Structure 1
Amino acid sequence: MELHGAPTVTDTVEAVVDFALQAVNCRHAGVVLAARGGRAEIGAVTDSVLESVFQWQIDSAAGPLIESLRAQEIVDVVDTSAETRWPDWATKVSELGVGSAVHVPLCIGVQSVGVLTLYGEQAGGFSADDLAVAHILARHASVAVAAARQEETMARAVDARKLVGQAMGILMMKFDVDGDRAFAILKRYSQDHNRKLRDVAQEVIDTRKLPG
């Protein structure tokens, strides 16, 4: 399963939904990720129709996807036409020709990573084998997404250090100060203007002067 070598989170979740379409008897597939602050964000979908249904659930904070994300539990909708827990959602997906849906949480231990959603064309569209494959895919996807996020975080940290170093060099030459003083200046501007240190450093590099 070519998930763990994907270079970014986006590439990883796109590989997940592509594999889901091939391995599971589903019409649509998508991944929603748990973002910072508890808000969900769409990671990848097989088509724009699914994206609109996902976004509606995120905006309304309701629906089986949100329930799976919050509870970190599988939410299986065997027949959308008979679904009473989320009638608005059921109406929307039924109109799109979706007869069944399963939402499988992505998590590492107690940490929520996201949800893998599979939409089937027929009611009762997912067999025991389909669900078993979805479970396996979700476990692999959880690890792969967490690893890709860590790689991206490390890359951003390295990039930020490089930018800060360059900005410090500019300030040291421009104002004839040492490294400690140059860093203190950047940090002060970051705090005073409520901006990330990385962004302040980038502006110093671009303009050769202090922001504001």
Structure 2
Amino acid sequence: MNGDRPDVVERLDEATAALDALRDGFAVEERLDDVLHRLAESAVTVVQDADAVTICVSPEQPRTAAASDQAFVTIDERQFRANRGPCLESARTLTAVRAVVGENHDIWPEFEECAAQHGVRAYLSVPVVLPTSDRSDRQHMGSLNFYSYTAAAFDPFDEGLVRLFTTAASTAIANAHQWQRARDHVKHLETALVSRAVIEQAKGILMAVHSCSEDEAFDMLVKRSQDDNVKLRDVAKNLIDSLT
């Protein structure tokens, strides 16, 4: 390791401090893209020779969710359109992929051309995976992509630091997914409760108008729903609206 590079302890301390700040700043209700943007900003300050960091998510339809410099999103998108490049190679193999621009034109010509236009000399992509109970079946969630203007950038120690950030990214993405599922569940429950209240009110109206039982009133609503091919809740709401 070059003598002008920070020593190992200092670099580890920087990474630990950055990750601690991220952990303490994570808010449950924070948008995923906002969390990942802060992660990208922290990673680019800690990883030696990293001039920009992007974070891609949604492997099936990849998109760049965060970037320390928006100019580099173009390189990500060029890989996505071509369906090849070191980012996608990392995603498919679930291994870190390092590329020196100018050495892979036959393999990733689109990436090589776009990266060269931006002055990029070295690139490192590390997959973000969610561990499962079966270690052989890890869920790929995205990638951290590091860009450098220095061809010799990203030594093995850098890769080790990057893996710390991929762990933070996997936690952020998993938490965001869990939060979204919880929000969706609550929304479904709220909709169900509102529907129940509307139906009960409509039943009460029918019971008063027709002097019928609760079951008979409900059967009337169900029959109208089937005859008109309209949801039961909407039938009940229309009945209430017609009287008010």
How high is the TM-score relative to the length of structure 1?
A: 0.76
Q: Kindly tell me: are residues 163 and 49 of structure 1, through their superposed partners in 2, closer, same or farther at Cα, counting changes over 3 Å?
A: same
Q: 1:82 aligns with which of 98, 103, 123?
A: 103
1:209 offset after TM fit, Å? 4.7
- Superposition RMSD on alpha carbons, in Å? 3.1
1:46 offset after TM fit, Å? 2.0
1:141 and 2:164 equivalent? no
* 2:43 partner amino acid: A
Unaligned runs of 5+ in 1: none
Structure number with higher relative contact order (C-alpha < 8 Å, ≥ 6 residues apart):
1
**Does the 8 A contact of 2:57 with 2:143 survive in 1?**
yes
SS of corresponding position for 2:153: coil
**Does the 8 A contact of 2:78 with 2:110 survive in 1?**
no
Q: Kindly tell me: are residues 120 and 209 of structure 1, through their superposed partners in 2, closer, same or farther at Cα, counting changes over 3 Å?
A: farther
Tell me, in whole angstroms, the C-alpha distance in 2 between the residues paired with 1:33 and 1:158.
25
% same residue? 19
**CA-to-aligned-CA distance 1:18-44 (integer Å, 9 cap, x gap):** 111110121111111125xx2222211
**Does the 8 A contact of 1:30 with 1:44 survive in 2?**
yes
**Does the 8 A contact of 2:54 with 2:144 survive in 1?**
yes
1:152 offset after TM fit, Å? 2.1
1:65 and 2:93 equivalent? no
* 2:101 partner amino acid: T
1:52 offset after TM fit, Å? 2.0
How high is the TM-score relative to the length of structure 2?
A: 0.67
Whichever of the two has the greater Rg, that structure is: 2
SS of corresponding position for 1:153: helix
* 1:8 partner amino acid: R
In structure 2, the partner of 1:14 is 37
**CA-to-aligned-CA distance 1:158-203 (integer Å, 9 cap, x gap):** 122212321332243246588xx79x98xx99xx89xxx9xxx8xx
